[in-house]
Amino acid sequence: DTEVTQTPKHLVMGMTNKKSLKCEQHMGHRAMYWYKQKAKKPPELMFVYSYEKLSINESVPSRFSPECPNSSLLNLHLHALQPEDSALYLCASSQGGERFYSPLHFGNGTRLTVT
């Protein structure tokens, strides 16, 4: 089991639905990340939060909306997704601050299917 918890593990949603992915860590990490991973591909960075502020947005479409309510929680709000958005969505955390390249701790992801 990992120290980063993601819910739900699986999600099926229609293109008109609104849903949210949740991520939680209690390691005191100050940086949190959302990655998208397609089958047999590496993770692609979507967003980075540092000290609860959005620090990196990798030109992600606005149908994905991140939120960091506090230092332990990270949400990804989904609206009007397309079938090509189906993927494994991974949350990760790291010590953050000036330690930009510290190791990432990943959750086990949410398998999202858009119908």
Residues that bind other proteins (CB under 8 A): 2, 4, 40-43, 45, 48, 55-56, 88, 90, 92, 100-101, 103-109, 111
**Cβ nearer to other proteins, comparing 78 with 90:** 90
Return the number of the residue (72 or 108) whose C-beta is nearest other proteins: 108
Provide, for the chain, the percentages of residues in helix, strand and coil under a 3-state DSSP scheme, each rounded to the nearest 5: 5, 55, 40
13/45 with CB nearer other proteins: 45
Peptide bond into 8 cis (omega under 30): yes
Q: What are phi and psi of 83, to 5 degrees?
A: -55, -30
